[in-house]
Structure 1
Amino acid sequence: MSKKDIFGDDIDSGKSFEDFEAMFAQSEAGGLKTRVSVGDKIRGEILSIGKEESFVSTGTPTDGMIFTRDLLDENKEVKYHVGDMIDVVVLSTKGGEIRLTMKGSKSAEADSLEDAYDMELPVSGTVTEVVNGGLRVNVQGKTAFCPISQIDSRFVTDASEYVGKKFDFLITQFDKRNIVVSRRKLLEMQKVENEGAFMQKVQVGAILEGRITRLEKFGAFVELESGVEGLIHLSELTWSRVHSPQEVVSPGQTVTVKLLKMEEIDGKLKLSLSMKQADGDGNPWNSVPAKFPVGTVVNGKVEKKEVYGLFVNIAPGITGLLPKAKWRDHVDGAQFENKKRGDDIAVQIDEIKFEDKKISLGVPGAGEDHTWRAHQPASGSGFGSLGDALKGLQIKPKK
């Protein structure tokens, strides 16, 4: 059997006899492919590199063509050499020609939109206008429709912000009259991919940088990488007590966080983050015993008022409780009763429960006996002195 008998044509002069012998043996063993299909993933050898087009072996009698621009690096220089093995995907097999693109390439150009639909390859499109229920998108010169629910991974109320912008889409419906695309589906696929890579390279306890994306009443969401988002709970924003995340951060702000927990729930990656624990030994409670020994009188600010007492902030991240029972019977109790959130107040450190992170506060000088004040007569009562009190007292002589 001749070489021409196997392949139907003469062997390319660029291939060595050894290459042919290997292919011949593979053919005899029944392992040589005779054809490939759109979407097939192939690992092939670069056979030639031209200015516009290059050729890669496909494991079949027909070599595949790939645009040389797909072989360029970020500096627009060819990063491969003839003989290198690369991973490619079959884009089309029309007219006896095999068209290829790099595996995983987001800029993969299908020979037609139908190929992109069949292979679930991304296509670039520009949003041209907002229409009823969605947006019109220009994809390779053709008009496609993107439902408003599919333009982003988040809920969208104002679709006009996307007009004039270019995005990658997946074609979800294709026929001669209708082309429907989805950006959301592509974002979700990329999110799963990115989350998987994140879980492999990052460990719990890692210190990371991210960007605040949105605020909720229970905390702030942070984007750590493209498609990878975590939550800083309200209690983990700062050591001080806050009532809303807006008091600490704002959307778009870059923050440093510590990864507290990483788990998959119902197929979704959940990340718990902390800002207050990201600065190493930044816990203000570590300095409490030395800075606030029992008996110390400090100036603080009322943080919250409850029926049972006042929560007083005495330092950033340090809050103690002044129980109502400690001022209720005090001679100056009225001034404490009238305190409200934000008011300045002087308190005394009565007790520190370090392990529980609790401080019991008291009224300054409450240890002194001030009960005599309650019995002091009011001015002008006629009983301002002992002499006044004895006036008119009649002492009867003994008989």
Structure 2
Amino acid sequence: MEELTFEQMLDESFKTIHTGEVVEGTVIDVKPEEMVLNIGYKSDGILTQNEYSNERTDLTTVAKVGDTMEVKIIKVNDGEGQVLLSYKRLAADRGNKRIEEAYNNQEVLTATVNQVLEGGLSVVVDEVRIFIPASLVSDTYERDLSKYKDQEIQFVITEYNPRRRRYIGDRRQLIAAEKAELQRKLFETLNVGDIIEGTVKNVTDFGAFVDLGGADGLLHISEMSWGRIENPKKVFKSGDKVKVLVKEINGSKIALSRKFDDENPWKDAEEKYAIGSVVTGHVARMTEFGAFIELENGIDALLHVSQISRDRVEKPSDVLKLGEEITAKVVDFSAEAHKISLSVRALTAPTPADDEAEDEDADVVSVDIDAEIAKQDAEEEAPAAEEAPAEETAEEAAEEAPAEDTAE
């Protein structure tokens, strides 16, 4: 039997390795861009920075001499007698299995957004790059995705194709499911008459949509205050925290109000504005049939054109100005209808000619105030509706808003 040489015996003492094999090695040297591992082979293995991770990493921060780690052999001889190793490819192989399991089980994954691309977001899970299209980032369209950079997000895998290295994530369905659950819980406990806090989500010309934590409610312009609101956008803005009263629940639609009973100015109005009392207010708005005098926030009284003066007045605007202070006598009061009629004429002494022309009830004017106000409001809203942006049409507003009596 022929004796083996020392070199032959040394070669046989080392194990045989193959490309693609996974081996365990011990770190014997480490530099920022390269580390050397003893893998039990006649040649040491070289693990470069590029084969450690897709992210640029200082290798001295992740390993030290004496550490052991599993790596994948990508070349047995690089031409210089060295074995080339890869850590990221092994991690990717294992990551593929991890992603496949998550895809099959519809598991919710968590990862940090490492790139914001033109068409969506990119995240890495166990060295596997997953793309989340912009349309699947949220349940509403978001033009600017930059806020997600370096943010931790949750998603599910909706497409798994390792052959094409195509892995698609979906965050939108998680958000939709979460909102559906919040909505279910909200409607289980929400009742008409509840006072809750919400966040203003969007403000339009006809009102504001308030996020109640599971569903949005409409705070119509007519329900924003006991007083008159001309422009909701001057009162509320997105993000405002507001206390609201649940006025009506109709299916999934919620009507809200900020007309709280304890702030109702009409509570003691019958005593403050009794018939015969003299009051002072300011001209709030004018119509052809008279002027509305604001006595306090939430209480307007009608000064009919026939009661402005003992002289004949064609139009209130001929003798009055918006904001002008007016002192008048209360000649009619209806607590149920929230109506007050005033007369300046009743404060002036009548002439003999006036006495002949008037009877004892001349100071009380009969007019359908609600009908006149509704008519005026309709005329004011018509031009606004024509100028409204396309995305906020009257039809859409009608679909959003619950049926309610908007007549004041």
- TM-score relative to the length of structure 1: 0.56
Alpha-carbon distance between aligned partners in 2 of 1:203 and 1:156, rounded to the nearest angstrom: 33
Is 1:297 the counterpart of 2:278 in the alignment?
yes
- In the aligned structure 1, how far is the partner of 2:336 from the partner of 2:170? 53
Residue in 2 that maps onto 1:321: 302
Pair 1:159–1:324, CA change in 2 (3 A): farther
1:244 aligns with 2:231: yes
User: Does 2:331 align with 1:350?
Assistant: yes
Structure 1 residue identity aligned to 2:161: D
CA distance in 1, matches of 2:124, 2:319: 66
In structure 2, the partner of 1:255 is 242
- Give the Cα separation in 1 of the matches to 2:115 and 2:294: 54
Q: 230-239 or 320-329, which moves further after superposition?
A: 320-329
- State the match for 1:309 in structure 2: 290
1:163 aligns with 2:149: yes
Conserved 8 A contact 1:351-1:361: yes
Do the aligned partners of 2:307 and 2:345 also contact (CA within 8 Å) in 1? no
* Aligned mates of 2:124, 2:321 — CA distance in 1: 60
**How many angstroms apart in 1 are the aligned matches of 2:314 and 2:104?**
79
Instruction: State whether residues 286 and 316 of structure 2, in contact with CA within 8 Å, keep that contact through their aligned partners in structure 1.
Output: no
2:264 counterpart residue number:
283
* CA distance 1:121–1:306, change in 2 (3 Å): farther
Structure 1 letter corresponding to 2:205: K
Report the residue type matching 2:137 in the other structure: I
> Would the aligned equivalents of 2:308 and 2:345 in 1 still touch at CA under 8 Å?
no
Q: Cα gap change, 1:335/1:273 in structure 2, threshold over 3 Å: closer, same or farther?
A: closer
SS class of match (2:230)? coil
> Structure 1's 320 and 150: CA in aligned 2 closer, same or farther, altered over 3 A?
farther
**Counterparts of 1:198 and 1:184, CA distance in 2:** 21
CA 1:167 to 1:344, structure 2 compared with 1: closer, same or farther past 3 Å? farther
Contact 2:218 2:254 in 1 (8 A): yes
User: How many residues are aligned here?
Assistant: 258
2:404 corresponding residue in structure 1: none
Task: Give structure 1 stretches of 5+ with no counterpart.
Answer: 1-108, 374-399
Deviations 1:207-248 (A, max 9, x none): 2222223322222222222x3332222222211110222343
Structure 1 residues 74-93: aligned runs within 5 Å: none
Classify the secondary structure of the residue corresponding to 2:217. strand
Q: Does 1:223 align with 2:204?
A: no
Evaluate the alpha carbon distance shift between residue 349 and residue 172 of structure 1 in structure 2; reply closer, same or farther with a 3 A threshold: farther
Q: Residues 334, 123 of structure 1: CA spacing in aligned structure 2 closer, same or farther, 3 A cutoff? A: same
Percent identity, aligned pairs only, is 31
Structure 2 Cα separation of the partners of residues 155 and 341 of structure 1: 44
Name the SS of the counterpart of 1:240 in structure 2.
Answer: coil
- The answer on 1:114 being equivalent to 2:110 is no
Extract unaligned runs of 5+ from structure 2: 1-94, 355-408
- The equivalent position to 1:196 in structure 2, one of 167, 184, 199, is 184
| Change in 2 beyond 3 A, CA 1:181/1:349 | farther
Aligned AA (1:179)? Y
The residue number in structure 1 matching 2:88 is none
Runs of 4+ in structure 1 off by over 6 angstroms are 331-335
Q: C-alpha separation between the residues in 2 aligned to 1:346 and 1:140?
A: 79
User: Separation in 2 of the partners of 1:304 and 1:137?
Assistant: 59
1:172-227 deviation digits (Å, cap 9, x = unpaired): 323222222232221111111111122223322222222223322222222222x3
The alpha-carbon distance between structure 1 residues 202 and 110, as it changes in their structure 2 partners (threshold 3 A), is farther
Q: Shift of residue 292 of structure 1? A: 0.7
Cα pair distance change 1:295/1:184, threshold 3 Å: farther
Change (3 A) 1:282 1:186: same
Q: 1:118, CA displacement in angstroms?
A: 2.8
Separation (CA, whole Å) in 1 of partners of 2:258 and 2:222: 10
Kindly provide the amino acid, as one letter, of the partner of residue 233 in structure 1. Answer: H
Structure with the higher helix share, 1 or 2: 2
* In 2, Cα distance between equivalents of 1:193 and 1:351: 53
CA RMSD in angstroms, aligned pairs only: 3.1
Residue 198 of structure 2 aligns with which residue? 210
In 2, distance between residues paired with 1:338 and 1:179?
75
Distance apart, 1:300 and its partner CA:
1.9
Alignment of 1:146-157 (within 5 A): 146-157=132-143
- 3-state SS in 1 of match to 2:212: strand
Instruction: Read off the aligned partner of 2:337 and give its amino acid letter.
Output: D
SS at match of 2:279: strand
Q: Could you tell me whether the CA contact under 8 Å between 1:233 and 1:274 is conserved in 2?
A: yes
Instruction: Give the deviation of 1:356 after TM superposition.
Output: 1.6
Q: Please give the alpha-carbon distance, in whole angstroms, between the structure 2 residues aligned to 1:368 and 1:339.
A: 21
Letter of the structure 1 residue corresponding to residue 343 of structure 2: G
Structure 2: how far apart are the matches of 1:152 and 1:241?
A: 37
Contact 2:305 2:315 in 1 (8 A): no
Residue 255 of structure 2 corresponds to residue 272 of structure 1: yes
User: Post-superposition shift, 1:276?
Assistant: 1.9
In the alignment, structure 1 residue 361 sits paired with structure 2 residue 349: no
